[in-house]
Structure 1
Amino acid sequence: MADDQTPEATEAETAAASEAKGARRKKLLIILAIVVAAVAVIYLLLNWLVFSRHVSTDNAYVAAESAQITPLVGGQVIEVAVSDTSVVKRGQLLLRIDDADAKIAVAQAQADLAAAERRYGQTAATGDALAAQVKARDADIGRMQAQLKVATADLDSAQVNYDRRRALVGEGAVSGDELTSATRALETARANVVLARAAIAQSEAARASAVQERAANTALTRGTTQSTAPEVLTARARLDQARLDLSRTTIRAPMDGVVARRQVQVGQRLAAGTVAMTVVPVDRLYVDANYKEGQLGKVRIGQRAEITSDLYGGDVVYHGTVVGLAGGTGAAFSLIPAQNATGNWIKVVQRLPVRIQLDPKELRDHPLRVGLSMDVEIDVASDR
């Protein structure tokens, strides 16, 4: 019967088949366009709702404010109690320095303090003795003044006797010997007055000297006690310094952490300020994430971040907070900064360190170490 079909019928069937195929192709194109449009819409929604909320980088590393252990006094190391990787607690012994010299210095300072206290006591006692000398000089002056009065009275009496005998010499009532005796007595009385006055002057000079010595001595102790005298305070300060130096021969951990880069051995002589080791506080680590400058437009302090490490992989997610942005790029603070003013300048995208504080509890559960690589994603829409 197929042979009985006319050419017109065959052409009609071909046209119908072609039309059906075209309709199917058009339908597929419409479906494809709808799928592409849906994908575009989904991408735009994701970019708006998700991707635009987060900035990420894998240029991030664990860091910490490590403590360098530097002895404040020099000497020979007699004990090292820790080694690299040792876990230490705050106050735990790290190393000891020979303290023989420091103990001698303490003994010498103690002796100097005792001597200063004795000198102060001697100075105070000397002041009392000088005060007694002033009183004695006052008594001497009083005695000499009394002797001057006696000498003056004797002089007056001798003068009267001399005048009487001299008046009677012409009448012959007085012999020459009596006049001579009266004259000698008058001269003696005059000499005694001169001696008495000289003694008074000497006593007054001695009193003035004693007063000055007392004033000089009092100036050394005025307004002070044995515990507040300058010499005593100086000696006590030296003793405190010697004791402090003695205590510094025992070096202890300033914080909890792990010992790293131990550079000291028993028997080695350390100079003050030499780095002996480093203590890393592994429970107070942070992450420095180096973001490209184009990613930092929305980054703010207080935003939340999620961090993963190559050590644990994606199974462990740390949660942190942005606590600061560096004051300059790494290139700006490099040893030899780039000279972009030269003619062969090529623009290089710069990175700025962003500091992220980690959760201490998560650090205790999954410890990290300084220098490990991290992947950081900051939620720029969050703000604590």
Structure 2
Amino acid sequence: MHHPISIANLRAALFTSALALSTVTAATWAEAQGAAPESATAEQKATAQKAFEKGMKASKAKKHEDALAAFKESYGAVASPNSHLMVARELVELGRLEEAWAEYEKTVVEAEAAAQKDPKYADTATGAKNEQNDLKGKLGFVKLTVTGAGPGSRVTVRGKEIPEADWGKPVAVMPGSVRVELVASDGKEIVQEVNATAGSETPVTLAPPAAAPAAGNAAGEGSAKLEASTSGKGPSMRTWAYIAGGVGVAGLATFGIFGAMNNAKHSKLEDECKDGVCPSNLEDEKDTGKTYQTIANVGLVVGVVGLGTGTVLYLMSGKKTEKAAALPKRRGPRVESVSVGYQSVLVSGSF
């Protein structure tokens, strides 16, 4: 038997979980941004330089996950465009081209602003632009046109929410099938599946369905309302299964990333602390390690719950589809050597 209240509660819980996880992840990376290069203290610069050199060593050894974590750590001490550029490069090495595209874009903005105070960052901006341009032939781009969407509407591309301010910008994606969704504030959704081709833009137009016309008489109006209430629906159970699964995958990814960063901090403390006693200047390192561990644990819990919920909903949606297939259809309203920027960072070895 269908229970509207239970489904509503489930939708609210899943949306809250997804929002919480995305907020934690986004806030963590935002908080990881360190001091501006021109205002960083000598201690912050030393910490950033040490992490940067660690990242360079890991990158040369082809340990790109370790290198990515180290460059993020360096950027967390001093927000140098050079560290940010190395983050983008490691994402390329890991095959995470959609993320790399976004980080290159941010690096260009940062480097151009920093170059106004320190000309050396002009090469970083040029290098980031050139390397981002090299990705154009490997990525497809979804060009969104959203019309008639009211306040509170959300747009996702392959499960990633696109900020409203970016709805008019091409979204970088890996070539292949791409699911694009518009979810209105009332829960109604418009879904399009398109095929993205490397090196080209694929236009997608999203618009909520027009409101149903008013009935001509009281009896007809009552019938239309009854039909709409029984046949109209929000997102399907399988859609919520995909959302829950996406939350789970994001949670496990958060666990993996911050678990690795926590292990790096732990190893550093083991190397520099003698007989369990750590110098006072390492207290911040301990606190940072605890923060990484907490975030990793939260990610693990959200990951397990999300994947578990997604699996159950997916299985239930299959049964629901089988039952629906046996019923007669009802008619009614339907409601991602030397060259400018790249080698300059490698040769100079500065963050």
Question: Larger relative CO (CA 8 A, sep 6+): 1 or 2?
Answer: 1
**Higher Rg:** 1
Question: Going by fraction, where is strand more abundant, 1 or 2?
Answer: 1
